[in-house]
Structure 1
Amino acid sequence: MTDPLKLASEFPAADYASWRQLAEAGLKGADFNKKLVTQTLDGFAVQPLYTNDDQDDATRLIHQVLSASVDSKDAASGWDIRQLHAHPDPKAVNAAILEDLENGATSVLLKLDASARHGREISSAEVGVGGVAIHCLADLEIALDDIYTDLATVALDAGAAAIPAAVLLAAYIAKTDGADEAAPAFNIDPIGTLAATGSLPCDVTDAINQAASIACDLIDQFPLATAITVDGAPYCNAGATDGQELACLLASGVTYLRALTDTGMAADQAAGAIAFNVAIGTDFFAGIAKLRAIRLMWSRILGASGIEDTTITINAVSAEMVLSTVDPWVNMLRTTVTSFAAGLGGADSVVCLPYDHLIGLPDGFARRIARNTQLILQEESNVHRVIDPAGGAWFIENLTKDLSTAAWARFQKFEATGSIVKSLKDGSLKAEIETIWQAHQKRLATRRDPLTGVSEFPNIAEAKVTCATPDLDTIQAEAKARQTKFDGTIGKDFNSLINAASNGATIGHMFTDLYGTSAATQIAALVPHRLSESFESLRKRSDTHKAKTGKLPQIFLANLGPVAKHTARAMFARNFFEAGGIEAISNNGFADADTCAKAFADSGAKIAIICGTDAQYSEMATDIAKALKQAGANRIYLAGHPGDAKASYEAAGIDDFISIGGDVLDVCKTALTHLGVK
């Protein structure tokens, strides 16, 4: 008798060959590799199905290696929920930090303003622009008032002024209770700064050596701290593939590891002083594999360096590249994906960017949603309570292996040709990444890579999200008032810098004393991009047109016959054009050309698109097109592929055809031009 609990016992055993046969039958002659196998921009293929047969000795070792590099106590406590703060007013930042820490955040990331990041004096007009106005110890004391730095990690984002900013933070923490237990993240990264800004205040080699020297002093004072960060965000946000970003992380990490050990620091201590900042996009499985791959490869590097402790400190952040300014509410979904992937991939801390991050300064609601996203993943989903939760999954293991192989090969090229610094200086790395960005653009334009709320299901009637505008004049005046007169000498060693900061020296003072007033290294910086930027540009044209004329540019849907027949292509056409900011004027359909032409003329539109079935097109399309032209349409589209009838349709006045795989950006740009939208 069949066991009733074995529900599949009466069915034949499944195997790959049987599945493949069924899949190919479903494709009806289409090429399996073209339809179901994904070719990544890193050069390897992702199969539609993986089985145990896809495992080999290399993939079976991945989980074992990663599990050995994780402290089980870290898995039990969960990753660090790090919140970004960039409000220009230190008082507002302090209130926001306290609110965040009281409601679930566990650490703080302070982004300094443009003036501080460039080492400029407090008189600069850039004070408070793009970040918090922290220039001296008094500013930092206000921002971190009542913050227990031994309980909550304070991380910095200070650009070229990373060392003066680190000195300020070190001087502040040294005066607080529990300084020995503090674990600040000073985040000194001259290579990342050079990549992102194209500028350093001194020679690159000197900057790296100076960073290593200061890092040694910082670690001596704060043994639990990380002093150097290796930031992958500039490469990711410029359009790099995951493999390229990982290779850049490895190459930079090895450069810093060598510099630290050259100062006399023990290799294991040097490795512990380095943290990695990894940008995570919305490809969920790729995000998990990216973090697993960097952990796997860095473990290999540390092992080859004779370091027994192969743990790695990773901060994961939502990639700005995947966020949008249109329909920004969808950013909540995007950052949920990035945070979930980061947690499953083994990040030690995660920055979930607020949904309105690109629009302005987030309010309490936006910050609450950002931190609650991670709290729900931890407290309700418990995703942190398993070491390497993706371990053993055939697909993820192979994706990790393939990604690691691609990244390692690129890393070896950096090593063979000199260094990542050389590739930045000669522009070869920038050129490689720009080539990849162009490939991204093609996939985005044809919606092969769809963007929800942007290129798919756009909402052109959305209410705009607005953010508070700070009073920069008041903030700048208060910043100047807090600055004390400093006439002393500073010096370039750590103790001299600490003394100067404690006596009122500003970041600008220390920066000038360290580097002078002019940049010594200038290269072509990596250009940051966002996946939605081209669509946002079209939407901006449309919004500007509405502000001037009172309405959005419009296209008339010339729907044929009853709703059941035209609705599929009408909806396709609506999404297609509204992705470019062109409002679709809909209706219930027309039975003849004259009625359609009259409705078009009454609508006030200048362009139209014919929507219906292929059978309807063969009967009505030419008559409809001629009638629309006579009614004043200066451009007519047809929804669908014209096939053999293209010539006759064009002779009747149809100017263009839209179908799946068409270039949305190019078509909408042309349409806006015909509509007179500048």
Structure 2
Amino acid sequence: MFLMYDYSPDSMTDILFKDFPPVPTQAWEELILRDLKGADYNKKLLWKTPDGFSVRPYYREEDLKEIPHLDSLPGQKPYLRGTRKDNNWLIRQGFPLSEPLSQVNAKVLEALNRGLESVGFVLQPGQELTLQDMNTLLREVFLPAIEVSFENVSFKKPGTLHAFLEYVRATGIPAEQVRARFGFDPAGDAFFAGTMPNPEDFTVLANLVRTCSDYPQLRLVCIQGYKIQNRGVGVVQELAFSMAMGNEYLKKLTSAGLSPDMAARSIHFHMGIGTHYFLEMAKFRAARVFWNEISNAAIAVHATSGTWSQTAYDMYVNLLRGTTEAMSAALAGVDSMEVLPFDYAITKGSEQGYRLARNIQIILKEEAHFDRVTDPAAGSYYIENLTNSVLGESRKLYLDILQTGGFTDPVTCDRFRETVNSTRERRLQNLAQRRETLVGINQYPDSTGKAPAGLNLSGEEEWMRAATGFEKMRLRTEQATEIPSVFLLTFGNLTMCRARAQFSANFFGIAGFKVLDNNRFKTVEDGIQAAGKSGARIVVACSSDEEYEGAVPLIARSLDPGTILTVAGEPACKEALMDRGINHFISVRSDVLETLLGYQKELGL
């Protein structure tokens, strides 16, 4: 005998939830307002993203009603769910061609045997490869099993492309099995160089695309969105920039005689991955829909973890950043991905760094099985709404770019460059004021850590890092004849003195100063005596606001004249203390970078 059960959604709802009537949104809102006790709802609960739009504290099923395409499937337009029915992205690693090609080939073969699936050859400035170079570089590489990419190439020197095609024909590989990417981007190269592309560039590029018309999986035009991301912009600006650049190429290539389908098929996107986990997922999902709206085609996306958040101090934290960035891109369904080595900011990547970076993706595939689930974010109230918000905000910026002339208009280009620069400066200011956190740099520093050998703080634009200003300050401390000591004079209210001592230790640790923490002194006088014996150049008073007014002037009178007395907090008596010549205060409102640089200057560092 067989028992038949009704597993329909309505039936399951009746079984599981008949005793739990749904709670309307209004009831939740009333409860939240009651718990806020008069506090501003928007300030307390709405998160304003780096791109300027707000995210609500919660979303419900009713918030999905106005979002289109939720019933679409993976592999179906508009590709919200993905361009493929699987999620088997390709693991890529870049190989700079700065050493003999035979040595590069040996590294490639080893990496392919260790799980690599996509090889990125990064040419040196002005370098062109010949057929002989291709024979050396691709020796014993079974090309149909992998994808290859040629980066830092110029369409004005197409010798590398012709050499590759000649190699493919000579080895007899069927055209449909050749999976290759070239990084030709005259418009993007001009934008980042502060110039404008020559109109004839697009005619030359279109002719190159025609040359490759028999190769359905060979894409020549690369939209370099990652360069925008590494300058500190948010997901909206990166996405709008990428789509506007893609639109320019569609227009120029079709004007040069290519069909819309051939033009779209020649374009691929190289985008960055930032640290905002859910926003990055939303960006890649939105990119698929956006590009389909523009081109009626499926997007091809390669993602690279960013350098903006990479740190040279406490650099092993970069392994964690690389992991979360890789997770967001993998779950969002990119086509291929490169995780940069944890030590990329120092050495451009050691052998160990590349191996661990590769293994991050292998673990996500082989152990976490991220490749076996397509678009796991589907139906998530939060991520679907984030995707819709990112898409909507990106469309606005995209249309603004187009309406002012697009990226072949010099005024539009200059204005967008200014937008990128102002966004970067705002984010750097947020880091200096700790409105944004960079673990190990402006919060939770390892104050005993030393600068790694080979640290490069030049800050080349393609690979900018947010930590550079803090790291230069840290390096200045290390290069001093003697590391300055900071004595924490703790007294009075136990809770407040310990809280402010911890805050102060974190604050001065950012500059690499030696912090001398103490248990609470029984009396202020005991603390003053211990401070004098310590020889510290900086003494920080750590107690409650109420105890500062009487104790701090006493401390100031008792310390050696050359000692810098600092008060932890912004007490109500601040003005009275300043009238007595006490001018150093640190608090959550302080510009950490500017304040610590001021201490360094005062100490003669």
Flag the 1:464–1:167 CA change in 2: closer, same or farther, 3 A: farther
Query: How much has 1:391 moved relative to structure 2?
Result: 1.7
After superposition, residues 218-233 of structure 1 pair within 5 angstroms as: 218-220=212-214, 222-233=215-226
Q: Which position in structure 2 is the counterpart of 1:601?
A: 532
The TM-score with structure 2 as length reference comes to 0.89
Alpha-carbon displacement from aligned partner over 1:281-340 (angstroms, at most 9, x marks no partner) = 00001101111111111111123xxxxxx3211101112212122211111111111111
- DSSP-derived class of the 2:191 partner: helix
After superposition, residues 384-423 of structure 1 pair within 5 angstroms as: 384-423=371-410
Flag the 1:671–1:28 CA change in 2: closer, same or farther, 3 A: farther
How many equivalent pairs are there? 585
Larger RCO (alpha carbons 8 Å, 6+ apart): 1
1:173 lines up with 2:168 in the alignment: yes
- DSSP-derived class of the 2:582 partner: coil
RMSD between superposed Cα atoms in Å: 3.0
Q: Which position in structure 1 is the counterpart of 2:89?
A: 79
Q: Which position in structure 2 is the counterpart of 1:639?
A: 568
Query: Does the 8 Å contact 1:558/1:611 carry over to 2?
Result: yes
Residue type at the aligned position of 1:148: F
Flag the 1:6–1:572 CA change in 2: closer, same or farther, 3 A: farther
Q: Which position in structure 2 is the counterpart of 1:492?
A: none
Q: Which position in structure 1 is the counterpart of 2:58?
A: 49
The TM-score with structure 1 as length reference comes to 0.80
- Once the two structures are overlaid, the 10-residue window that deviates more, 97-106 or 160-169, is 160-169
Which whole-Å CA distance do the structure 2 matches of 1:542 and 1:179 have between them?
60
1:251 to 244, 257, 260: 244
Query: How much has 1:633 moved relative to structure 2?
Result: 4.3
Alpha-carbon displacement from aligned partner over 1:549-608 (angstroms, at most 9, x marks no partner) = 1x4333222222597653222111111122233332222232334432333233332122
Q: Which position in structure 2 is the counterpart of 1:332?
A: 319
Flag the 1:595–1:175 CA change in 2: closer, same or farther, 3 A: farther
Flag the 1:650–1:51 CA change in 2: closer, same or farther, 3 A: same
- DSSP-derived class of the 2:69 partner: helix
Query: How much has 1:251 moved relative to structure 2?
Result: 1.4
- DSSP-derived class of the 2:222 partner: strand
Query: Does the 8 Å contact 1:276/1:313 carry over to 2?
Result: yes
Which whole-Å CA distance do the structure 1 matches of 2:172 and 2:589 have between them?
62
Query: Does the 8 Å contact 1:79/1:350 carry over to 2?
Result: yes
Query: Does the 8 Å contact 2:105/2:136 carry over to 1?
Result: yes
Q: Which position in structure 2 is the counterpart of 1:531?
A: 466
Query: How much has 1:8 moved relative to structure 2?
Result: 8.3
Which whole-Å CA distance do the structure 1 matches of 2:557 and 2:400 have between them?
61
Flag the 1:642–1:83 CA change in 2: closer, same or farther, 3 A: same
Q: Which position in structure 1 is the counterpart of 2:38?
A: 29
Query: How much has 1:415 moved relative to structure 2?
Result: 2.0
1:194 lines up with 2:202 in the alignment: no
Flag the 1:559–1:144 CA change in 2: closer, same or farther, 3 A: farther
Flag the 1:599–1:235 CA change in 2: closer, same or farther, 3 A: same
Query: Does the 8 Å contact 1:446/1:661 carry over to 2?
Result: yes
After superposition, residues 140-539 of structure 1 pair within 5 angstroms as: 140-160=134-154, 163-178=158-173, 180=175, 181-198=177-194, 203-220=197-214, 222-303=215-296, 310-423=297-410, 427-462=414-449, 464-466=451-453, 529-539=464-474
Query: How much has 1:35 moved relative to structure 2?
Result: 1.8
Q: Which position in structure 1 is the counterpart of 2:69?
A: 61
Query: How much has 1:417 moved relative to structure 2?
Result: 2.0
Q: Give the fraction of aligned pairs with identical amino acids, expressed as a percent.
A: 30
1:91 to 71, 79, 102: 102
Alpha-carbon displacement from aligned partner over 1:334-391 (angstroms, at most 9, x marks no partner) = 1111111111112000111110111114233211211111112122222232332212
Flag the 1:34–1:11 CA change in 2: closer, same or farther, 3 A: same
Which whole-Å CA distance do the structure 2 matches of 1:468 and 1:626 have between them?
43
Which whole-Å CA distance do the structure 2 matches of 1:676 and 1:463 have between them?
20
Residue type at the aligned position of 1:105: L
Flag the 1:206–1:673 CA change in 2: closer, same or farther, 3 A: same
Query: How much has 1:620 moved relative to structure 2?
Result: 2.9
Which whole-Å CA distance do the structure 2 matches of 1:31 and 1:606 have between them?
43
Residue type at the aligned position of 1:30: A
What are the ranges of 5 or more consecutive residues in structure 1 without an aligned counterpart? 117-133, 304-309, 470-524
Flag the 1:224–1:527 CA change in 2: closer, same or farther, 3 A: closer
Residue type at the aligned position of 2:465: R
Which whole-Å CA distance do the structure 1 matches of 2:592 and 2:598 have between them?
10
- DSSP-derived class of the 1:317 partner: strand
Query: How much has 1:165 moved relative to structure 2?
Result: 3.3
Query: Does the 8 Å contact 2:450/2:478 carry over to 1?
Result: no
Alpha-carbon displacement from aligned partner over 1:500-549 (angstroms, at most 9, x marks no partner) = xxxxxxxxxxxxxxxxxxxxxxxxx978632222212211222222xxx1
Flag the 1:83–1:234 CA change in 2: closer, same or farther, 3 A: same
Q: Which position in structure 1 is the counterpart of 2:505?
A: 574
Q: Which position in structure 2 is the counterpart of 1:540?
A: 475
Which whole-Å CA distance do the structure 2 matches of 1:530 and 1:143 have between them?
32
Flag the 1:26–1:603 CA change in 2: closer, same or farther, 3 A: farther
Q: Which position in structure 2 is the counterpart of 1:507?
A: none
Which whole-Å CA distance do the structure 1 matches of 2:134 and 2:34 have between them?
66
Query: Does the 8 Å contact 1:554/1:585 carry over to 2?
Result: yes
Which whole-Å CA distance do the structure 1 matches of 2:563 and 2:126 have between them?
51
Query: Does the 8 Å contact 1:560/1:611 carry over to 2?
Result: yes
Query: Does the 8 Å contact 2:244/2:398 carry over to 1?
Result: yes
Query: How much has 1:652 moved relative to structure 2?
Result: 4.5
1:610 lines up with 2:541 in the alignment: yes
Q: Which position in structure 2 is the counterpart of 1:497?
A: none
Q: Which position in structure 1 is the counterpart of 2:597?
A: 669
Query: How much has 1:37 moved relative to structure 2?
Result: 0.8
Flag the 1:7–1:207 CA change in 2: closer, same or farther, 3 A: same
- DSSP-derived class of the 2:486 partner: strand
- Once the two structures are overlaid, the 10-residue window that deviates more, 665-674 or 85-94, is 85-94
Query: Does the 8 Å contact 2:406/2:412 carry over to 1?
Result: no
1:655 lines up with 2:590 in the alignment: no
Which whole-Å CA distance do the structure 2 matches of 1:573 and 1:72 have between them?
48
Alpha-carbon displacement from aligned partner over 1:591-646 (angstroms, at most 9, x marks no partner) = 33443233323333212211223354355333233323xx2344222112212x11
- Once the two structures are overlaid, the 10-residue window that deviates more, 366-375 or 647-656, is 647-656
Residue type at the aligned position of 2:258: M
Alpha-carbon displacement from aligned partner over 1:217-240 (angstroms, at most 9, x marks no partner) = 1233x3321111111022222233
Q: Which position in structure 1 is the counterpart of 2:520?
A: 589
- Once the two structures are overlaid, the 10-residue window that deviates more, 389-398 or 349-358, is 389-398
What are the ranges of 5 or more consecutive residues in structure 2 without an aligned counterpart? 1-11
Residue type at the aligned position of 1:53: E
Flag the 1:22–1:416 CA change in 2: closer, same or farther, 3 A: same
Query: How much has 1:148 moved relative to structure 2?
Result: 1.8
Q: Which position in structure 1 is the counterpart of 2:118?
A: 107
Residue type at the aligned position of 2:551: M
